[in-house]
Amino acid sequence: MRRRHFLATLAALSLPGRRLRAGAARTRIHPFPLSQIRLGPGVWRDAAEVNRRAVLAEDPDRLLHNFRVTAGLASSAAPLGGWEAPDNELRGHYVGHHLSACAMIWASSGDPRARQRGTQIVSALAACQRALGSGYLGAFPEALFDRLRDNRPAWAPFYTLHKIMAGLVDMHTLAGSAEALDIVTGIARWTARWTQSLGDADMARVLEREYGGMNEVLYNLAAITGDRAWADVAHRFDHERVFRPLADGRDELKGLHVNTTLPKIIGAARRYELTSEPRYRRIAEYFWHEVAERRTYATGGTSNGESWNTEPGVLAGELSGYTHECCVTYNLLKLTRQIWSWTGDPACADYYERALWNGILGTQHPSDGSKLYYLPLAPGYWKLFGTPRADYWCCTGSGSESFAKLGDSIYFRDDDGIYVNLVIASELAWTERGVTLIQDTQFPAEPRTRLIVKTARPAAFALRVRIPSWVARGGGARLNGKPLDGFAAPGGYLVVDRTWHDGDRLEVALPMALSSVAMPDDPSIEALTYGPLVLAERMGSAGLGPGVLRAEPTKPRAIPEYKGDGLAMPVLTGPAPWLRPAGGKPLAFHTTGPGERREFVPLYQIFDERYAVYVKTPG
Ligand SMILES: [Zn+2]
């Protein structure tokens, strides 16, 4: 009754048709579109392939089941389980992620099956939206939003709506679906009516419930359509209670749910990009520095039990089986990419690399593409992967996107030329200039990369290659076989500004060394690193049958301790003289000394066994 009244009252309201100021976005550096980048052979392309197979293995009719039931349309498909089950209040969220993943897979690989799959689901969703008749589209009835408005229990309906809207926006921008834009515009109109019915105080209460990136997706819609009205609707989702302290430079993040907070900040960053209001840039940059530099583990992840439980820089007591939620890394990488494009700050690129290698790559099981929810950092735990068709966690969805867009932050451009930010085998088609840049590398199995220019005509531009902060002594570059006089300090860019000819080749040596990242509040607890890779001690798979591996680890072991006494003479300089490379196994190390030999490998390589990332060392 109340909802009918609400709709009748608001249906007549129309949105103002002001146009968004053209050219308001002021980003200095631009990413290349995914469609211009192809991954080359190596661990990243392998991971993208595993994800592609997993995404395409989904059954569209099963994904659509709850949408069709909600719209009163026939569906004989078997319902999915977990968070997509017919009685779960987040149902439908994964379908939004799935649309994003399909659009990204199409853009990054050109696989026509991905676009066809996305288009098929978009058309089916259009039919559901038509049947519902109000502009609303969801896999649960609008009644869940009534409950939210009336301050009754409802998990997070706008969180789910955001995923669906973002998936439709991606299908439009990456896969050219006009129908997807129509649907999402209809949902935005419905959202505008819904929010217009609430005063600011009631809206502030609504914003206390997790709402994903509703502000971001509506700002994106404003940018796509040029219609300022969507920015006004987006602004209703800008959460002042969270933004105010950040704008004032105060870290009041303790106690906040991390993945509820992050998408709001991405929305603030998007607002800055559209409006150039410095306050929103301040919010995003201050937040990024606090979180990326003072609240992340060595892996680049943040959160414990999904929250920040401490003041910044206090992490030693925050090791558990529920650390490092994977959606959080997904979102933090998105924000990092935005801020890097404003600032060109190499610290952003360093962070991006660290989180990508350690917080993304090993979070998908190579056998079936199942995804992690948390990356446990308590010693002796294992990676608990979701069960396909049965779990559909938030991180199942964001993970399917992470592995569908692995190429999106390797290359950037500005008026002067190209930035190469990541050492990942790949090929960039710089179609605007008729240049192809091939990055040929087996990194991290080899500590170097080769950049080869293909061009029909000589092309003048600056090639700026990031020299990561972890690069050890001995780095250098050769141009067409001849050593270059200069190099860049670690944490900077090697700039080669010249007229490039077809076949020109820049080879960059990036020596890796053992190092460590200490807990900010307890230097005796460290994670060992090799180049950008966080190492973990392998603790074996004894007792880890399939049933145990799919269960939550609950009994941590003690933090492994290594004493300097009696160890063999140092074989490597740096913080871990008690480690030496394991002969014949690239990227593997073992302890020296008289005790039991223990093996360390990159965390991203560990599956189906116990491990420890943080260890106690002689200091
Ligand atoms: Zn998640």
**What are the pLDDT digits (tens) for 369-390?**
999 999 999 999 999 999 999 9
Of 583, 575, 581, 586, the C-alpha closest to 616 is 575
Region of 42 (left: φ > 0; alpha: ψ -120 to 50; beta: rest) is left
Integer Cα distance of 339 and 293 in angstroms? 14
Please give the distance, rounded to the nearest whole angstrom, from the Cα atom of residue 323 to the centre of ligand 1: 11
Cis check for the bond before 444: say yes or no (omega within 30 of 0).
yes
Please give the distance, rounded to the nearest whole angstrom, from the Cα atom of residue 228 to the centre of ligand 1: 31
Count of C-beta atoms within a 10 Å radius of residue 495 = 15
Please give the distance, rounded to the nearest whole angstrom, from the Cα atom of residue 372 to the centre of ligand 1: 9
Strand pairing report for 599-602 and 522-530: unpaired
Please give the distance, rounded to the nearest whole angstrom, from the Cα atom of residue 163 to the centre of ligand 1: 12
Count of C-beta atoms within a 10 Å radius of residue 103 = 32
Please give the distance, rounded to the nearest whole angstrom, from the Cα atom of residue 604 to the centre of ligand 1: 18
Q: Give residue 301's pLDDT band: very low, low, confident or very high (50, 70, 90).
A: very high
Contact call for residues 370 and 385 (beta carbons, < 8 A): yes
Range 126-152 average pLDDT: 98
Residue 408 has pLDDT above 90, yes or no: yes
Please give the distance, rounded to the nearest whole angstrom, from the Cα atom of residue 258 to the centre of ligand 1: 10
Flag whether the pTM goes above 0.85.
yes
Close Cβ partners of 607 (under 8 Å, ≥ 6 residues apart):
362, 365, 366, 383
Residue 23 has pLDDT above 70, yes or no: no
Taking CA atoms, 471 is separated from 160, 354, 431, in Å, by 42, 13, 32
pLDDT at 583: 82
Quote the DSSP letter at residue 85. S
pLDDT at 574: 52
Residue 26 has pLDDT above 50, yes or no: no
Compute CA 276 distance to the chain's CA centroid, rounded to the nearest angstrom: 24
Integer Cα distance of 462 and 460 in angstroms? 7
Range 8-15 average pLDDT: 31
Range 571-575 average pLDDT: 46
> Per the structure block, which two tokens stand in for 523?
């230097």
Taking CA atoms, 281 is separated from 47, 241, 274, 284, in Å, by 34, 17, 11, 5
Q: Which amino acid is at 589?
A: F
Write out the residues surrounding ion ligand 1, Cβ under 5 A.
325, 327, 394-395
Helix (H) or strand (E) holding 412: strand 411-414
pLDDT at 113: 98
